[in-house]
Amino acid sequence: MRVFKFGGASVKDAAGIRNVHDLLKQVGYEDVLLVVSAMGKTTNALEVVIKDYFDKSPALKASVQEVKKYHNEIIIDLFEDEKQEVFGAVNKLFGDLEYFLENNKSPNYNFVYDQVVSYGELISTTILAHYMNFKAIDTQWIDVRHFIKTNANYRDAEVDWEATQNNISKNIKRKKLNITQGFLGSDDNNFTTTLGREGSDYTAAIFAYCLNAESVTIWKDVPGVMNADPRYFENASLLHQISYREAIELAFYGATVIHPKTLQPLQKKEIPLYVKSFINPLLKGTSVSKGTALEPYLPCFIVKRNQLLISLSSIDFSFIMEEHISEIFSLFHQYKLKVNLIQNSAISFSVCVEDKFDNFKEMNAILSKKFKVDFTENVTLYTIRHFNDTAAETVENGKKVILKQVSKETMQIITSEN
Ligand code: ADP
Ligand code: ASP
Ligand code: MG
């Protein structure tokens, strides 16, 4: 079986959905499982719905309406005839969402978040599956929540591999085109959970692992994995081959083209990962597999914006030793701050973190009792794998460098915006 993942950009409008159909005709769709994200920026739009809901804002109705309108325009474009079943199916999903928003009693933000954002994927896959059937490609729509089981850590749920493996081995019908949702799972009480933003790549890897798939292909708006994000670097080049290890490093440092959790399950079973263009599906793209680290061998640039640089020093000039460090890290873990760089000296300790869940303020109140805490918001972290002098100059040119760290293969540079 082959697993294909289509992200938001590939299904952002009616033309995108038609393109998925045409692409499948070209590359084949028998014995394929499609993992699909929410259309375009729907997850962001649903985050606005959640904010309005918690703010008790009068804009709530309009923000739901906006998501509805966006999808309705796509269905009208694709199907024209309003008697098609898809209209009822999508309306039903919006009805369920509205029912939830009217009747939910839980004050738990993360729980509500997952119940609401999940509609993005439920709707996109419903539309795509109906379209495939409409185009005479026999398609099975699957509710991923019956397959991927997780703990109840809403917004960042961890997979229960045993239960998931069991569900997938028993119940996926091969020889068919199966379509399911990326990013979602469900907990023991069958409430919806999500695997973290951009988690659909990971969903594809979970299925591939449990199905012993032949390969995973993630279809992108770029030709493959490049040595830099082409949005920020004019001369980015395509990497033809990358080893799992190198890909894990790139994803870990923040190359958003592959979600970092995706690679481990694939590497364990040596399932190749292809990253290809949904615009030119017959081109080779990038192959991630065992073997050559990087072909061609080029410096790779990764940019992470909106980082927080925190410097801690001891109040009484005592050393920052293991026990302090372990205490600091357990706080980072507890408050879900992702650490992207560490630098320490005898009496000070600097970390560059990402505060995805806006928890730093609360954590700082605790840290400040024990350490002198300085922090700079909004810094940019550049990572260069396989750096050389020219590569470092490209990054540093015209910027204010506030920290630099070099190891054998990787250079990291933090710059401030002002
Ligand atoms: P999806 O639609 O699957 O969610 P994303 O938008 O998450 O796709 O990922 C594709 C984007 O990743 C590209 O448009 C590109 O701007 C960005 N990107 C970041 N780093 C790289 C890289 N090293 N190579 C290619 N694209 C990259
Ligand atoms: N729709 C989700 C997100 O935007 C998951 C994904 O696209 O991978 O984060
Ligand atoms: Mg994405």
Q: Which residues pair with 27 in a beta bridge?
A: none
Q: How far is CA 30 from the centre of its chain?
A: 27
Contact between 119 and 194 (Cβ < 8 Å): no
pLDDT tens column, 17-54: 999 999 999 999 999 999 999 999 999 999 999 999 99
User: Residues 74, 207: one domain?
Assistant: yes
- Flag whether 283 is in a domain: no
Nearest residue (CA) to ligand 1, atom 11: 257
- Flag whether 154 is in a domain: yes
In this structure, which ligand is nearest to the CA of 37? Answer: 2
User: Residues 177, 31: one domain?
Assistant: yes
Number of domains comprising the chain: 2
Q: Mutate which of 12, 34, 37 to test ligand 2's pocket (most atoms within 8 Å of Cβ)?
A: 37
- Centre of ligand 2 to C-alpha 198, Å, is 4
Both tokens of residue 194?
């999500």
- Flag whether 259 is in a domain: no
Q: Is the per-residue pLDDT at 395 higher than 70?
A: yes
- What pTM did the predictor assign? 0.92
pLDDT tens column, 228-284: 999 988 899 999 999 999 999 999 888 888 998 999 999 999 999 999 999 999 999
Q: How confident is the model at residue 80 (pLDDT cuts 50, 70, 90)?
A: confident
Query: Could you say which of 152, 180, 213 is where a domain stops?
Result: 213
- Percent of the chain past pLDDT 70, that is, above it, reads 99
What is the predicted pLDDT for the residue at 171? 85
Q: What is the CA angle 147-148-154, rounded to 5? A: 140
What is the predicted pLDDT for the residue at 418? 58
- 3-state DSSP of 57-92: CCCHHHHHHHHHHHHHHHHHHHHCCCCCHHHHHHHH
Residues 405, 392: Cα–Cα separation, whole Å: 11
- Centre of ligand 1 to C-alpha 102, Å, is 36
Nearest residue (CA) to ligand 1, atom 2: 7
User: Residues 191, 310: one domain?
Assistant: no
- Flag whether 155 is in a domain: yes
User: Residues 203, 343: one domain?
Assistant: no
- Centre of ligand 2 to C-alpha 245, Å, is 24
- Percent of the chain past pLDDT 90, that is, above it, reads 85
Nearest residue (CA) to ligand 2, atom 5: 198
Averaged pLDDT, 308-329: 82
Q: Mutate which of 183, 256, 259, 261 to test ligand 2's pocket (most atoms within 8 Å of Cβ)?
A: 183
Point out the ligand 1 atom lying closest to the alpha carbon of residue 275. Answer: 25
Helices (H) and strands (E) in the chain, counts: 12, 17
Q: Is the per-residue pLDDT at 349 higher than 70?
A: yes
CATH number of the CATH domain containing 22: 3.40.1160.10
Nearest residue (CA) to ligand 2, atom 7: 198
User: Residues 29, 126: one domain?
Assistant: yes
Q: Is the per-residue pLDDT at 412 higher than 70?
A: yes
Averaged pLDDT, 169-190: 93
Query: Could you say which of 190, 213, 236 is where a domain stops?
Result: 213
Q: Which residues pair with 58 in a beta bridge?
A: none
Q: Which residues line ligand 2 (CB under 6 A)?
A: 7-8, 37-38, 43, 120, 182-183, 197-200
CATH number of the CATH domain containing 329: 3.30.2130.10
- Flag whether 198 is in a domain: yes
Query: Could you say which of 171, 186, 213 is where a domain stops?
Result: 213
- Flag whether 372 is in a domain: yes
Q: Which residues line ligand 1 (CB under 6 A)?
A: 7-10, 37, 198, 220-222, 225-226, 228-231, 255-257
Residues 7, 220: Cα–Cα separation, whole Å: 7
- Flag whether 235 is in a domain: no
User: Residues 50, 168: one domain?
Assistant: yes
Domain housing 388? 300-416
Residues 220, 229: Cα–Cα separation, whole Å: 13
- Centre of ligand 2 to C-alpha 197, Å, is 5
Point out the ligand 2 atom lying closest to the alpha carbon of residue 44. Answer: 4
Point out the ligand 1 atom lying closest to the alpha carbon of residue 225. Answer: 24
User: Residues 186, 319: one domain?
Assistant: no
In this structure, which ligand is nearest to the CA of 203? Answer: 2
Both tokens of residue 406?
């070099």
Nearest residue (CA) to ligand 2, atom 6: 198
- Report in angstroms the alpha-carbon separations of 327 from 257, 314, 317, 342, 372: 33, 13, 18, 15, 15
In this structure, which ligand is nearest to the CA of 198? Answer: 2
Point out the ligand 1 atom lying closest to the alpha carbon of residue 301. Answer: 23
- Flag whether 136 is in a domain: yes
